[in-house]
Structure 1
Amino acid sequence: MIRLVCSIVAIVLCVWKVFNWAWWKPRRLERYFRKQGIRGPPYRLIHGNVAENGAASLEAKAKPMNGFTHSIVPRVLPFLHQTVQKYGNLSIFWVGGNPRVDIMNPDLVRDVLLNKFGYFTKMKPNPVVKLFVTGLVSYNGGKWSKHRKIINPAFHHEKLKLMMPAFYTSCGELISRWNKLALEGSFELDIAPELQSLTEDVISRTLFGRNYQVGRQIFELQTEQQDLLFQSSQFAYIPGQETTATLLLWTIVLLSMHQEWQEHAREEVLRAFEKNQPDFDGLSHLKLMSMILYEVLRLYPPFPLLTRFTSKKAKLGEITFPQGVQVGLPILLIHHDRDLWGEDVGEFNPTRFSGGISKATKNKVSYFPFGWGPQICIGLQFALIEVKIALTMILQRFYFKLSPTYVHAPHAVLTLQPQHGAPIVFCKR
């Protein structure tokens, strides 16, 4: 009899937990946010809005884009785009039974990323994501501080200078391969895997002093006893490599689309270095190239969406968040917001950054491709130096344009990628 009662109680508790997660809690939170003026697509049992989001993405990917437009939001984040259009700059998206409040207001974005009171922490990666992304990008609190302190010295100005030979070697090997392909004058190749290999090689050389193949073997042989070193280096090996390759890829694609800017960039490079190897100090004076990279990062940020999680009850402006709610910062949508960037928001216009990022954004947090505030990406300068060296060496030696087979179709995987690859035609200078 006692066993039967215990079994019934256990079943009732399980049913209640499922009911609470799948129905009662979402409905309660939906009412809670609606009272504060925050709305979104209605919650659907079990899956929330995930199925609708997936269907919208599949539909968007199946349609061809209108030429080489940079207005990519409806294709990359179609469901979120529709949600913001319908419900405004504060809206809810349901990830299963858990709400994510998406914020488009730069002042609120600043408060989330500044995180003065420790309300907003990084999301814990799910097991699948954890296979690819770990280390600093997923740490919070004391663990983040500890690892940041370990890694910080490696990215000081003087240490970055010491990495220049590794950058030269990796980029030089890429150029040598391409020179062989250019023996007949011009050649075509998909730059996506090429740039992936380049950035992997740079990370391996700077991290382990070995090329990519040897570095990968070392990386895979780390033991549990070396966990601290492993996870600290893993932060750089995967997110660092992925974001840098993505930035360099879209820069080459956009300079292939906009030949006048490619020529301006080449003129600046040749004035600064002629045919010589780019030096550390000279790279910092490539103002036009910096403007181009900033604009590429605005239009094609590596990560379209940044998320945070309320670790405790939080106040954000006039909004109160209960503990355990996701907060979404849609980088791509904010970077493409006409109200923030003006009528030419969908155009490739590097001159908007001629006075620097602060002037372009009017000191608002409307531009954060690598995050913002105390937890801004530690490898930002590393990535920009690597991209500038690679781009300088390519511009010194090659003209390039889009292949006739190129199809402009950006889509979000882990990062923002060209769905059909990036075939580019290179011609020796």
Structure 2
Amino acid sequence: MEVSLLGRVFASMALVGLACFLFLLYNIMWLKSERLRGKLRKQGIEGPPPSFLYGNVPEMQRIQLTARKASNSNHGEIVAHDYTSTLFPYFEQWRKEYGAIYTYSTGIRQHLYVNHPDLVKEMNQSVTLDLGKPSYVTKRLAPMLGNGILRSNGLSWAQQRKIVAPEFFMDRVKGMVGLMLEAAQPLVRKWEDQIEAQGGMTADVKVDGDLRGVSADVISRACFGSSYSKGKEIFSKLRSLQKAISEQGFLFGVPKYGFILIKKRREIRNLEEEIESLIWEAVKERKQECLETSSHEKDLMQLILEAAINDHNLDKDSSKRFIVDNCKNIYFAGHESTAVAASWCLMLLALHPEWQGRIRAEVAQVCSNRLPDANSLPHMKTMSMVIQETLRLYPPAAFVSREALEETQVGNISVPKGVCVWTLIPMLHRDPEIWGVDANEFKPERFSDGVSKACKFPQAYVPFGLGPRLCLGRNFAMVQLKVVLSLIVSKFTFSLSPTYRHSPAYRMIVEPEHGVHILLHKI
């Protein structure tokens, strides 16, 4: 009798516990998001109706699958530069249904999509620290970026920007042109050797890996006082880590569970530990070099070391974390996006040989011995136009993203706390209402009078972002692209290889999934 009574008590307690758990789950998974959606609906902002637990993720996956099947059936057609319909088709479909501003959800997260130029400008130029990088995305990127400048928010971000930004001011970048030439010239010799090895006339070359090597060498020499050979293992492991994180669907995917995920997390954790160990070894070497030499010109690693030492709020462990995280950020951001931009640039120039000729003539006119220097770079107007058009069609960063850390006003929209605001940059860069009916075509001449005259709303051109979160490496990337491309175009003519397969892929940045293969002809 007592045992039976006790069993009923335990059963009742279990039912109450289950009911409480289900209510809590319902509150977290539905009511919270529904309250946020309600605040947006009151402002006239609608969006696709979400499902319980997963929000709009099932619909996003269905739209993505349909787009992928359509893309596969069209394989072999001429290169089409509008890849948003295959990489991010749900944004395109919802924009047609709900306009330039709409809301959608992924699991418990509520998002606001904005494709209006004025609101994009407001979001980018906002100086409030209450609008930061989305925490759930940066959490998934933590193994790659730590709490460095690309991931941090608030005062931590402001402090790191103060340290890092001066290293990439134009007067500093101009002093790096010699290093960029030193890093790029072995690439030219390598490609010349490949032409000789393949008969002396033409070579079929996959360029993106070589360009990544040049870019990595430049950032190593310029910012860390070491050549690419010393940092080669760091860059290789960063690349592996980038791929591993991208395979998890870190941007909009709902977390999954199981043996495969556990295995992938173990791989990510191991890579993270190996990268941090290698960086810390380089840091210790740099410390020793600083003690043994008294150079007046400090590189970025020395500035980071000094900042960590002089910050009394950082203990020994925090100081080490600060140094390693920022080195990871600069190693990754300083070479990956520039190398990918150079790859897309060569792909577009291979399709448009007339622009190769224009650049070649310009380099011959403004550069002595056809070698660029700090004084000749500002006069490369044609080169600038080609790079700007490449970054319009293939911006390495696909999104501008922010999270309202507190309720924040963006233009005429009150963004509730916890809502993530997104802008898809390549869609903004292809909007016919902003760029004209030829928005999907490669036409560098649209930039002949600068960005302000290239389109209807100049604030809609954001390959490097705008405002306080403007990419710190903008000057560095533009100068490096001019140096590398001027050397290549001066030495070679080139066309797309028959083996090239046009398939942009999103792996934290938009890159050529199968690489860029070109046929090189020595001049």
**Deviations along 1:159-216, whole A, 9 cap, x unmatched?**
2233223211210121121111021121012112222222122211222222223124
The alpha carbon displacement at 1:8 in A equals: 6.7
Indicate the percent of aligned positions where both proteins have the same amino acid.
31
Alignment partner, residue 227 of structure 2: 211
Alignment partner, residue 87 of structure 1: 98
The 8 Å contact of residues 75 and 410 in structure 1, kept in 2 or not, is answered as no
Alignment partner, residue 108 of structure 1: 119
The alpha carbon displacement at 1:341 in A equals: 0.8
Residue 202 of structure 1: SS of its match in structure 2? helix
Q: One-letter code of the match for 2:220? A: S
Alignment partner, residue 52 of structure 2: 45
The answer to whether structure 1 residue 388 and structure 2 residue 400 are counterparts is: no
Deviates more, 1:224-233 or 1:14-23: 224-233
> How many angstroms apart in 1 are the aligned matches of 2:459 and 2:390?
17
Alignment partner, residue 321 of structure 1: 415
Alignment partner, residue 61 of structure 2: 54
The 8 Å contact of residues 136 and 144 in structure 1, kept in 2 or not, is answered as yes
Deviates more, 1:315-324 or 1:99-108: 315-324
Q: TM-score, normalising length from structure 1? A: 0.93
The alpha carbon displacement at 1:403 in A equals: 0.4
The answer to whether structure 1 residue 308 and structure 2 residue 402 are counterparts is: yes
Residue 26 of structure 1, aligned match among 33, 41, 55: 33
Alignment partner, residue 157 of structure 2: 144
The answer to whether structure 1 residue 129 and structure 2 residue 141 are counterparts is: yes
The 8 Å contact of residues 107 and 364 in structure 1, kept in 2 or not, is answered as no
Residue 121 of structure 2: SS of its match in structure 1? helix
The structure with more radius of gyration: 2
Deviates more, 1:354-363 or 1:277-286: 354-363
The 8 Å contact of residues 389 and 447 in structure 2, kept in 1 or not, is answered as yes
The alpha carbon displacement at 1:80 in A equals: 0.7
The 8 Å contact of residues 90 and 101 in structure 1, kept in 2 or not, is answered as yes
Residue 496 of structure 2, aligned match among 383, 390, 402: 402
Residue 518 of structure 2: SS of its match in structure 1? strand
Residue 194 of structure 2, aligned match among 175, 181, 189: 181
> How many angstroms apart in 2 are the aligned matches of 1:116 and 1:159?
26
Moved beyond 6 Å, runs of 4+: 1-9
RMSD across aligned positions (CA) = 2.3
**Deviations along 1:256-287, whole A, 9 cap, x unmatched?**
11111121111111212254321012011101
The alpha carbon displacement at 1:353 in A equals: 0.9
The alpha carbon displacement at 1:3 in A equals: 9.5
- Residue 307 and residue 293 in structure 1: after superposition, are their counterparts in 2 closer, same or farther (change >3 A)? same
Alignment partner, residue 24 of structure 2: 17
The answer to whether structure 1 residue 193 and structure 2 residue 287 are counterparts is: no
> How many angstroms apart in 1 are the aligned matches of 2:189 and 2:65?
40
The 8 Å contact of residues 435 and 456 in structure 2, kept in 1 or not, is answered as no
The alpha carbon displacement at 1:399 in A equals: 0.7
The answer to whether structure 1 residue 259 and structure 2 residue 270 are counterparts is: no
Give 5+ residue unaligned stretches, structure 2: 1-5, 235-277, 285-316
Q: TM-score, normalising length from structure 2? A: 0.77
The alpha carbon displacement at 1:7 in A equals: 6.9
> How many angstroms apart in 2 are the aligned matches of 1:250 and 1:275?
27
